[in-house]
Chain A
Amino acid sequence: MTRRAPARRRTLATSLALCVSLALGACSSDSEDGKDGKDGKDTAAGSGPRLRVTGAYMPQPTMADMAAGFMVVRNDGGEKDKLTSVTSELSDTVEIHETVDQQMQQVKSLAVPANGELQLSRGGNHLMFHDLIRKPEKGDKITLTLHFAKSDPVKLSVPVKAANHQPAR
């Protein structure tokens, strides 16, 4: 297992409360708007990572044994962070994968550079969900929580799209 930051795994209530009280935009509860991060600019003034997640989706999986998840984690802060684990109601085992030379491999974490972004996209980095509790269909929403080395967990509601969905670049 790659969940290296158990300390980060707080209960949902705690993490949401933290998000709200810190108002740093480290958490964005909806993957679609992606605007939350902007407000905290003055508060943090370049210190610490400031994360927001945009464009998250899950392609409708072929079968109930695995699924992929994609998104962009934007860091507007001056400090780097790392995506260290993912938890979800859909699966007890969610891995972080990278793809190199047409081979997908589990990695322990993926960097979210300062003033940069971590892209999870088709053919590249992705989340891999094993042994799904149910097979999600296009139009469903699934929830998942991203856990980071420094930032608070980010809870997302992720839409399930067509099996061949690919967001426009």
Chain B
Amino acid sequence: MRKSGRIRLAATALLAGSLVLTACGGGEDDTSGDKPAQVKNEDQKKGSVQLDRPFEKPDLTLTDDNGEEYDLIEETKGEPVLLYFGYTNCPDVCPLTMSNIAVAKSKLSKKEQEQLKVVFVTSDPKRDTPERLDKWLRMHDPSFVGLTGEFATIQAGARSVGVHIEKSYEKKNGDIVSTHGAQLLAFSPKDDKAHTMYTEQNATAKVLERELPAVIKGEKP
């Protein structure tokens, strides 16, 4: 448990599930009987995990999907932000996550929709040019911001919020393998820190629709 001490037990178990194991496929095993009871409750609740030690917003200055410089801290100061690390050559989880956010966002009030900032940082900057990010994100929601830049910078930013990504690599058969983050982070407009995290399994449209109004107000969902 590399994260122990940073977040409470339930969150740790969930995180371990998503970060270390094959969270992607094996998520349903998270509730196996030998785990502490609160993990089960957390999972049944199908909602966010509250971080005991919130993450600072990553200090990332990258290029946005309009090709312009974007300083994440400066651009989103005092605003509720959903932050996700993924890549567009991803058929499953990345579009699922962005689509879930888009669907949930569309159910919010107009004011809430205007307040919420959604930032997608590519984990595959070589293939995800600003143009490609713009084209891809537009299909989900034109207001979503896409960021690209040096992989090392992006990886360090991801690491600072507990998100593990690895550099894309090419296999012998020519396939390019990239990583997407296992969690979606929600930053509060009050202190610009992430108090709330969604694991891949819990970032459903329904959960987000229910919880985003609180997130936008800077409250605990």
A105–B22 Cα gap in the complex (Å)? 13
CB distance from A62 to the nearest CB of B (A): 5
Q: Which A residues are in CB contact (< 8 Å) with B90?
A: 104
Interface residues of B in 34-93 (CB under 8 A from A): 88-93
A122 near B99 with CB under 8 A, answer no
Stretch of A11-19, A37-45, A80-88, A124-132 on the interface side:
A124-132
Interface size on B, residues (CB 8 A): 42
Q: Is the CB of A121 within 8 A of B25?
A: yes
Residue A29 interfacial (CB < 8 Å): no
Alpha-carbon distance between A114 and B211 when the two chains are bound, in angstroms: 43
Distance A59 CA – B92 CA, assembled complex (angstroms):
8
Q: Which residue of B lies closest to A123 (CB)?
A: B24
Cα separation A63 to B178 with both chains bound (whole Å):
18
Q: Are B178 and A62 within 8 A (Cβ)?
A: no
B135 touching A63 by the CB < 8 A rule?
Answer: yes
Per-residue interface assignment for chain A, residues 62 to 105, with 1 indicating a CB less than 8 Å from any chain B CB and 0 otherwise: 11011110000000000000000000000000000111111111
B175 contacts across to A, CB distance below 8 A: 105-106
Question: Are A124's CB and B103's CB within 8 A?
Answer: no
A102 to B85, CA, bound (A): 11
Segment of B1-9, B186-194, B199-207 engaged in the interface with chain A: B199-207
B99 touches A63 (CB 8 A): no
CB neighbours of A162 from chain B (8 A): 99, 103
Query: What's the Cα separation between A126 and B91 when bound, in Å?
Result: 9
A68 touches B178 (CB 8 A): no
Report B116-141 CB contacts with A as 1/0, cut-off 8 Å: 00000000000000000001100110
Given A99-B24, A101-B22, A105-B177, the answer on whether A123 and B95 have CB atoms closer than 8 Å is no
Give residues 119-168 of B contacting A (CB, 8 Å). Answer: 135-136, 139-140, 164-166
Shortest Cβ gap from A156 to chain B (Å): 18
Chain B's nearest CB lies how many Å from the CB of A16? 28
The residue in chain A whose Cβ has the minimal distance to the Cβ of B104 is: A164
Question: Is A103 a contact partner of B179 (Cβ separation < 8 A)?
Answer: yes
Q: Is A61 an interface residue when CB atoms closer than 8 A count as contact?
A: yes
B219 interface hit (Cβ, 8 Å): no
A166 at interface by CB-CB < 8 Å: yes
Given A102-B182, A106-B173, A106-B175, A164 and B25 contact (CB-CB distance below 8 Å): no
Q: Is B181 an interface residue (CB 8 A)?
A: yes
Interface residue from B22, B98, B201 paired with A100 (Cβ < 8 Å): B22
Least CB separation from A68: chain B residue: B91
Task: Decide: A163 near B95, CB < 8 A? Known: A102-B179, A102-B180, A105-B177.
Answer: yes
5 closest residue pairs by CB, A with B:
A124-B25, A68-B91, A123-B24, A164-B99, A163-B99
User: Apart from A62-B98, A102-B24, what 7 extra A-B contacts exist at CB < 8 Å?
Assistant: A101-B22, A102-B181, A103-B178, A104-B178, A123-B23, A124-B24, A164-B96
